Every structure is written in C-alpha cells, then in structure tokens.
Amino acid sequence: MAAPAMKVADDRLATLPDPQGQGWLVDARRDALDRLRAVGLPGRRDEYWRYTDPRPFTAPEPRVDGRPDDDVDLDLGDAFLIEVGPHGIAWDTGAVPEGLEIDTLSRAGEIDIHWARDLYGTLEAAGSRPVSRPLGMLTTAAATDGVLLRAFGVVDRRVHVTYAPQADAVLHHVVRVEADAAVTIVETGNPGARHDTAWECDVADAGALHHVRIQGRTPGCHANTHVFARLGAGSILRSFTLSAGGDLTRNEATIDVTGDDASATIGGAAFGEGAFHHDDTVFVTHGALNGESRQVFKKVLRSGATGVFQGKILVKEGAQKTDGYQISQSLLLDDDAVFLAKPELEIYADDVACSHGSTTGAIDETALFYLRSRGVPHDQAVTLLVLSFLAEAVDEIEDEALRAAVTDLMAEWLRG
C-alpha cells in the first residue's frame, strides 16, 4: 500500500532543488524527508483530504501556469517591509524595528548556534501527531528559503511580509515570540502560482503573536499553507486570513496550547466563484488549564465555488476549564455553490465548555427585501449583506486600524 504513495513523494521531491544549507538544517531536513517518505503524500482516499483533491499539490509539476500578479492595496501605515522573492529575501537592515531580529533560512543554516535551530521542523513534527501533515513535512524538507523572525520585546511596527511570486514555491518561515514580547505580522500576496508555505510559530509565556494574511485575487493559483503554533502560558495567538481568489486554497492551522491560560483565535473570511475551492483545516489541541480557543470561519460562494471547513478541538485529559468555540458559516449565493464541513470535538476532560456551530443557506430574503424596499439596488443590497456576513469573521482581528484596513479592502474587492 505504501509503495505508490512513496513514489508520489519521490516524484514530487525530485522536481525540487537540492536543499540548501549545512549542519543542523541538513539534519532537520533529512529527518523531515524520512518522516515524509514513511507516510507518503496525501491521496484522494485520505480522510483529511476528503473534501479537497490534494493532487494539484502533490503532482511533480504545478498544474497552473505563470506567476500570480497580486495587487493587495492594504493601508498598513509605517509597516516594516520584508520582501520574499525568487532571488532571496530582502529588508532594510538599517531600519529593523526595536525588539525584532530578522534572518533567513538559507543564511541561518550556516550558523551553528542559531535560535531557530531548536524550532525548525519541531512544531511541524509535533503537528503531525495524531494526524500526519505530509505537505508540512515537505516544507521542512525542501523549503528553498524562509523568513526567521524573533521578537524579544514589544515590536511597535507591524511587520509586512510580501511576495514577488514564483511559478512553484516552497517556503518555511519560523517565528519565535519570547516571553512578554509581542509582534504583528501581515502577510500579503502569494509566493507562487503553486506554493506550499509553512509558518512555525513559537509563542513563549505571556507572548503575543498577531498574524493577518491576505491571499491575493489572482485566479489559477494553487495555495497550500500551514500554521504550526505552540502557545506558552498566558500567551496569545491571533491568526486571520482573507481569501478572495485562487482556484485552490488549503489553509491549515495546527495549534498546540501547551501553557495554562493561553488564548488562540483562528479566523477566516473567504469569497469566490467558479473554480474557487477554499479549504480551512484547523486542529486545536488543548493540553493545559484554562485554555481558550476560537475558530471563526465565514465563506461566501457562488457559481460552482466550493467551501470546505474541517475544524477540530482536542481537549486532552486534565486540560480542565478549557473553553473551546468553533463556528463555520457559509452563504451560498446560487444553486451551484457547495459547502462541506466536518467540525469535530474530541474531549477527554470533564470540566470544559466546548461548542461548535455550523450553518449553511442562502441569503436572507427578508433582509434583502428590506434593503430593496429602502431603494438599494439588488446587487448593492447583496454586496452589503455579504459584507456584513463576512465582517463577523474580520472582527476577530484585534488591531483596530488593521481591522478597518482589511474591511475596506474586502469591500473594495467585493464591489469590484
């Protein structure tokens, strides 16, 4: 049984450039490669790929041509810019905000004692239990580069990671937020027409990481992303993704709450039509006391578009007083749209409150009628209702100015 899967992995890996770097990085890559070979790449019969065909991600060559041409016009104030492109990663070395250390994977591999050494591939490996994430392993094994960010204080400027797209990209970023430190990362655009991108995020005690990702609108893009996060005591993680295009997008988040009193929110707003297939797969593990997690996902789908939500809350034995919340909602604007969901709870502690809800349906006719009766033209009324529906997910962004900027962009895209 394993042989064909292994062949797929080898074919895919054969198309990737040789891993760069030396020393610890090579060891970490070899380990990931061994793990990947042991499980193989996902296939259609894989339960975790029940609703999304993984083959565009596992095929040796991308099934999309060209490079995405994203225009994400997001007002981020004086954000600190990091540009990731085919020829490397660039930033203004003279203007790095206080409390922040920046490096690249390709360079760090040459340094024997590096803070990323104990992190690279470890959160990804931990996130592969109990459900293996072969495409995450692939990023550890074969990433051509990645941004390494370490926040050791409260970073007061937002960090803006943007991409100069390639045809086929594999990237692996690492973030370490030290105790009591805080940083906000805004990621815009797509690294490649096809890409497999992972973020490993380690948030130490009382640290805070805010992550906002705007995936571009370019059609014909196959995006597979991962967030692997570990949360220390009293720490905070907020991750939000806006998706408005691309043919195929799978955003996975694997969150491990290991410290007491930690809080995680994973949210997403997505809208698309036609070939748009959007998959949010989330796995939150609570292994400590008083943990809190929220998963808030909204999708608006039209003309053959498919939305997928697979969310899971796992509360380990002894993780008492956990508060886990999960909501997935979709608005189907016509009869060809499809929504598929598998919201799971797995709970081994008795003193917890966990809930999930999921709703699917058409636009509220009463609300539409009300707006029409006030003279709002039909299309505008629909846009308004869609916007208010999606806004509930955008509300999960805590940074007010950023929330407003994302809402404005979303409104502009919806009207356009």
Residues of this chain that interact with other proteins (CB under 8 A) are 47, 317-318, 320, 330, 332-335, 337-362
CB of 359: closest distance to other proteins in angstroms? 5
- In Å, how far from its chain's centre is CA 13? 23
CB of 324: closest distance to other proteins in angstroms? 8
| Residue whose tokens read 């707003």 | 269
- C-beta of 231 vs 352, nearer to other proteins: 352
CA nearest neighbour of 394 among 268, 217, 300: 268
CB of 267: closest distance to other proteins in angstroms? 19
- C-beta of 34 vs 364, nearer to other proteins: 364
Structure-token pair, residue 165: 């797209």
CB of 361: closest distance to other proteins in angstroms? 4
How far apart are alpha carbons 42 and 15 in whole angstroms?
Answer: 17
CB of 181: closest distance to other proteins in angstroms? 34
How far apart are alpha carbons 23 and 27 in whole angstroms?
Answer: 7
- C-beta of 47 vs 379, nearer to other proteins: 47
| CA-to-CA separations, 297 to 16, 54, 267, 319, 337, in angstroms, rounded | 33, 21, 5, 25, 17
368 burial via Cβ count (<10 Å: 0-12, 13-18, 19+): middle
CB of 109: closest distance to other proteins in angstroms? 41
- C-beta of 4 vs 361, nearer to other proteins: 361
- In Å, how far from its chain's centre is CA 332? 23
- C-beta of 69 vs 334, nearer to other proteins: 334
CB of 321: closest distance to other proteins in angstroms? 10
- C-beta of 20 vs 320, nearer to other proteins: 320
* Helix residue ranges per DSSP H, 15-98: 24-39, 55-58
- C-beta of 141 vs 308, nearer to other proteins: 308
Structure-token pair, residue 193: 């027409």
Beta strands in 2-152 (DSSP E): 80-85, 88-91, 100-104, 147-151
